[in-house]
Structure 1
Amino acid sequence: MSGFELNPRDIRPQDVERAEEQAERVEALLTELAGQDELLAEIVGTGRGDGGHVHAAVAADGRVLKVAIEPRAVREGSEALADEIVLTVRRAQQDALRQVDSLVRESLAEALPGTPLDPAELRERLGRLLD
């Protein structure tokens, strides 16, 4: 919870106008982002295992693009190798998510200058609005 409570009696006409302007800017931004799939297509998250012998690359949507295993990684045994692969892919997915959040944060900052933005909080608020 954000702790934000709104009393309708406290809403002024200029508050409504400002909210409408922000909504228009966000809508324009979302339309622009929807048409810019190439920006998301360029995002590639990368990860590396603890031993440094397993590397992974994933797309912005989490799809695994590549897993590279150096011969040294096989020496640790199949179970250790499997754990290392899973860890490496998760790190790559986290990196991709970080890049997507950064892109969204930058875009929203342009659309709503001066407004503190947290992508996780925005997702939570949007989820509550859609429920």
Structure 2
Amino acid sequence: MNRKNSNSQSVFENPFVKTLSVAVFMGIFLVDMGLGLFQIFSTKTSPLPSSLVLLIFAVTFIAGMVFYERNGLDTFSSLFGGALAGFGFSFVFVSLVGGVQFALGGGISALGWGQVISAVAGSMIVSIIMLKVLFYKLQNHFY
């Protein structure tokens, strides 16, 4: 790759673009999860078959257990960590699928685009604050 100006910065290396893209992604992600939970509680049904949710839990449970075991945790702690990872990932995945189904089924039009865009904007602000606080806390503990 030849560049005429080797000192120029790529768009994706710009800290503003990085932060903005992370904020937009996380905002949409959080709103989609919220819409999925709305869909699940309003219909009282899961957007995925129980067998698929159990399979997702099992795979994530095993991967989490092996990960924690390889990082030095004892057997009970790695089982607990794997179960927590499996439950968390299954919850996130099911709510994301529910949010996509809600959006494709015309649910966003029923709620109103103004409310959804406001929710994304609020989620963007909250997600960046959470990331900055988390980065600050981790920076003080890990050198």
TM-score in terms of structure 1 length: 0.37
From the two aligned structures, give the one with the greater strand fraction.
1
Whose relative contact order is higher, 1 or 2, with alpha carbons under 8 Å and at least 6 apart? 2
